[in-house]
Chain A
């Protein structure tokens, strides 16, 4: 199946700093990637849709200036948490759809996630 990687797998930073998380599709090209956030004991919430070569589309309530998304190539999307604060501590997960399947196959594949702790 399709493989999606994320880096780093975990990060601890001081309040006020910025953190960049990378999401890569390793064996396929993804024109669209998705970023999710998951708080402990909760479900995943979609933050934004990352489109290669164009601006990301953010879900309601997600600050685009806080969570900067760049999708500069067909295999890489980055999420930058700017001026991070303790309330930004969470588990961030990206996903991508493998377009090589049939049109009816819209399976999304998920990266292993990045745990962010802001002190």
Chain B
């Protein structure tokens, strides 16, 4: 099956800093989503982005489908950004998502 690797696995930032999270996948995809899992476990949808670039406030994402990677940009980070960030992809028509390995982000004051 498809492999989804995320980097870095762990990241510590000072409040106000910017960061880039990366998601590499091993095959063509027709769906790619970015999620933020908060400390209580809830997965929060950030982006549906199988290709192209989107922005939502301090967050933006870019997927280069031909090169099989996606990037999530976090600007002016805040302590509430802490948690685990996952990308998830699907191939074919079944909509089954394969999750990446995750990036654990901690934003400190």
**Interface of A toward B, CB cutoff 8 Å:** 1, 32, 34, 36, 38, 43-46, 49, 91, 93, 95, 97, 105-110, 112-113, 115
Contact = CB atoms under 8 A, between A and B. Distances in A.
A115 B95 CA distance: 25
A32 B101 CA distance: 25
Sort chain B's interface into a size bin. Answer: 20 to 34
- Interface majority SS (helix, strand, loop, mixed), chain A: strand
A113 B48 contact: no
A43 B41 contact: no
Contacts of B98: 46
B48 A107 contact: yes
B45 A106 contact: no
Contacts of B39: none
Nearest to B35: A110
Contact of B48 (A36, A93, A106): A106
Contacts of B88: 44, 108
A43 B100 contact: yes
